[in-house]
Amino acid sequence: MGEEAMRDKLAFVSFEPSNEHFTAFLPMEELISSDNDPELMLRKAAEVYEHSIVKMRNLVKEIQDFRDNRKLLPARKVWQLGDAIFELQHDLNNLSLQLDGLYDHLARDLGVKRKWLEKVIIFRRYLPDENAVPQSLNWGRCEKGTRRVAENLKRDYH
Mean pLDDT by 10 residues, the chain (158 residues): 54 94 88 74 96 98 96 98 99 95 98 98 97 97 96 92
Q: Round to whole Å and give the CA distance between 94 and 97.
A: 7
Task: Indicate the number of domains in the chain.
Answer: 1
Q: According to the model, what pLDDT value does residue 33 have?
A: 65
Strand bridging mode 11-18 / 97-99: parallel
Residue 64 lies in a domain: yes
- Tell me whether residue 21 is in a domain: yes
In a domain, 120, yes or no: no
**pLDDT of amino acid 74:** 98
Question: Is residue 143 in a domain?
Answer: no
Q: What is the pLDDT of residue 48?
A: 98
Residue 129 belongs to some domain of the structure? no
pLDDT number for residue 3: 47
Pairing relationship of beta strands 11-18 and 21-25 according to DSSP bridges: antiparallel
Residue 21's φ and ψ, nearest 5 degrees, are: -125, -175
For residue 123, tell me if it sits in a domain. Answer: no
Please give the pLDDT value at position 77.
98
How confident is the model at residue 65, as a pLDDT? Answer: 97
Whole-number pLDDT of residue 34: 66
Cβ-based neighbour number of residue 120 at 10 Å: 27
The domain in which residue 100 lies consists of 3-113
Give pLDDT, residue 158. Answer: 77
What pLDDT is attached to residue 20?
A: 86
Residue type for position 129: D
Residues 113 and 87: beta-carbon distance below 8 Å = no
- Evaluate whether residue 119 is within a structural domain: no
Model pTM score? 0.90
Q: What is the pLDDT of residue 57?
A: 98
Q: Tell me, yes or no, whether 13 lies in a domain.
A: yes
